[in-house]
Structure 1
Amino acid sequence: MKKKIIIIFFILIIFVNTGVYAEPDISLFGKDVNIEDSENPEDYVVGFEILLVLTILTLAPAILIMMSSFTRIIIVLSFIRNALGTQQTPPNQVLIGLALFLTFFVMAPIGADINENALQPYLEEEIGQAEAIDNAMVPIREFMYKQTRDKDLALFVDIADVEEEIVNMEDIPTKALIPAFIISELKTAFQISFIIFIPFLIIDMVVASTLMSMGMMMLPPVMISLPFKILLFIMVDGWNLIIRSLINGFS
């Protein structure tokens, strides 16, 4: 480790002494690249816009998860797998992929609204960046507001210490709406998962009681109940019912 540090130290000394950092002309892939200050302020504005776009792309997964229907869908799908007791079937990749496509399906009208009223006018330079962001937040805020409970919203409005009187949705600050929406989605997802768990729990109890009465205490009840739970799920067309209920819950 010490030898590596010494080697890196000597390399830095060689670079400094040779004046690499002071040269404005750099050869890159056989081409001379000239580095100099720009006299046009618009060049810096474009650079900041590119930086902003890259930042948004970096935060896109968090935005997708926290401000869309993804949270509720993935939690319900995970609880279904646990209720069936199928371990890693379906695998995580399948559940996440299904949740993503269902999220795209649910959020498609909102995406179309954002594209029509925010993105396209901004690309055509009809509106500024700030106005485009405000226009894009309108349909997202409406979606979150419809799915948020008043109790959760009041909690974060009180914590945020909003001094202005809230009369309608436009008066609610986004910093309070987003966390209120998240905990509302968590509660809704757990409520749906609890209802789904009940029939599978009954099957486990019946199978365990039957095995106990027959004196087969060494036989794991899960091995016997798993085929019956899968059969029940197939007979009622479980995936169709659950997906239909999830999508209708956002309408």
Structure 2
Amino acid sequence: MWRFGSYLLLLTLLLLPQLAAANELTLLSVRDADGGQDYSVKLQILLLMTALSLIPGMLMVLTSFTRIVIVLAILRQALGLQQSPPNRVLIGIAMMLTLLIMRPVWQDIYHNAFKPFQAEQMTLEQALGRAEQPLRQFMLAQTRENELHQVLLIAKEPTTMAAADVPIEVLIPAFVLSELTTAFQIGFMLFIPFLIIDLVVASVLMSMGMMMLSPLIISLPFKLMIFVLADGWSMVAGTLAGTFGAMP
């Protein structure tokens, strides 16, 4: 299933520009046959429509999106904000950062897989294999050895297997587990300064005898002010991009 989904995503990246450039996009072709007409669905359109339903899920497990969106959600929780920024805003920010961080991968796929395929210098199978290489290199660079070892055990594959020989259906879950671990580690580091502010405010209120006043109400403006003065959003975006410094 993982291999099928990843191949569909790569196939969409290869075929989408070619289909978008076409003047007409016909779903059904009609030809005369004995006793009537015969209708057939174009294979490329069928594959594209199938891939479109899997693209959101595959983007989450094949790119940097998971790490980014989890860190942003933890940051919102650390600030003490419930619905601001809204989930749609966080997802939009995560998507834009993902496109920016994954830009070298997309460019490699476009120049070394799509363009030769469009020029008929490669078959579709060869183009898919070439398009998989930069994506595999990106995931391998971000995958931890412990997670990869565990997934190899689950898949009953040799744990001494070279990284280049790891099947894509084994690499993808190892990559996702590594992204979750890294995202939680970054989120923990982001939580510490805001937790200290909450403790200081709670201690001051307790010393003043204001037991009934919630410390979160007092600490929230201070956390927002410090976060803005420290140019927090730029720092978070830069830190997240820096964690992918091992990109191909």
Identify the match of residue 176 of structure 2 among 179, 182, 185: 182
Alignment-derived partner of residue 127 in structure 1? 122
Give the distance between the partners of 1:45 and 1:247, measured in 2 at CA: 46
Measured after TM superposition, the shift of residue 165 of structure 1 is 5.8
* Counterpart-to-counterpart distance in 2, 1:183 and 1:189: 10
Q: Unaligned 5+ residue runs, structure 1?
A: 1-32
Q: Which residue of 1 aligns with 2:155?
A: 160
Over 3 Å counting, the alpha-carbon distance change for 1:207 and 1:139 in structure 2 is same
Matching residue within 123, 137, 140 for 1:142: 137
Alignment partner, residue 245 of structure 1:
239
Q: Deviations over 1:8-55 (max 9, x none)?
A: xxxxxxxxxxxxxxxxxxxxxxxxx9966779xxx9997223211222
In structure 2, how many angstroms separate the alpha carbons of the residues matched to 1:216 and 1:115?
Answer: 62
| Structure 1 residue 123 displacement after superposition | 2.0
Q: Does 1:231 align with 2:228?
A: no
1:138-172: per-residue Cα shift (whole Å, max 9, x none)? Answer: 000000000000111111112212259623x3211
Tell me which residue corresponds to 1:216. Answer: 210
Instruction: Check 1:37–1:188 CA distance in 2 against 1; reply closer, same or farther (3 A cut).
Output: farther
Q: Which residue of 2 aligns with 1:47?
A: 42
Answer whether contact 2:31 2:39 (CA < 8 A) is retained. no
Shift in Å at residue 64 of structure 1? 1.0
Any idea what SS the aligned residue of 1:217 has?
Answer: coil
2:191 to 179, 197, 215: 197
Note the alpha carbon deviations across 1:203-241, whole angstroms, 9 max, x for none.
Answer: 111111111111111111111000111111122211111
Report the residue type matching 1:250 in the other structure: F
Q: Distance in 2 between matches of 1:45 and 1:122?
A: 24
> Residues 47-92 of structure 1: CA distance to partner in whole angstroms, max 9, x if unpaired?
2232112222221111111110000000011111110112211111
Distance, in Å, in 1 between the alignment partners of 2:29 and 2:141 is: 54
Alignment partner of 1:100 out of 79, 95, 100: 95
Q: Distance in 2 between matches of 1:44 and 1:75?
A: 47
Q: Is the 8 A contact 2:140 2:175 kept in 1?
A: yes
Q: Where in structure 2 are there 5+ consecutive unaligned residues?
A: 1-27
- What is the distance in 1 between the residues matched to 2:157 and 2:33? 44
The match for 1:171 is 165
Deviation at 1:102, TM superposition (A): 0.3
| Greater C-alpha radius of gyration | 1
Structure 1 residues 161 and 205, CA gap change in structure 2 (3 angstroms): same
When the two structures are aligned, how many residues end up with a matched partner? 215
Q: Indicate the larger mover: 192-201 or 123-132.
A: 123-132
Q: Secondary structure of 1:49's match?
A: helix
CA distance 1:38–1:143, change in 2 (3 Å) = farther
Q: What amino acid is the match of 1:183?
A: L
Matched AA of 2:222: F
Moved more, 121-130 or 174-183: 121-130
Residue 123 of structure 2 is aligned to residue 115 of structure 1 = no
The answer to whether the 8 Å contact 2:29/2:42 transfers is no
2:55 is paired with a residue of what secondary structure? helix
2:13 is aligned to: none
Indicate the percent of aligned positions where both proteins have the same amino acid.
49
Structure 1 partner of 2:200: 206
Larger RCO of the pair (alpha carbons < 8 Å, separation 6+): 2
2:83 aligns with 88
| Maintained 8 Å contact 2:61/2:176 | yes
Measure, in 2, the Cα distance between the counterparts of 1:34 and 1:142.
40
**Alignment match, 2:58:** 63
The alpha-carbon distance between structure 1 residues 243 and 38, as it changes in their structure 2 partners (threshold 3 A), is farther
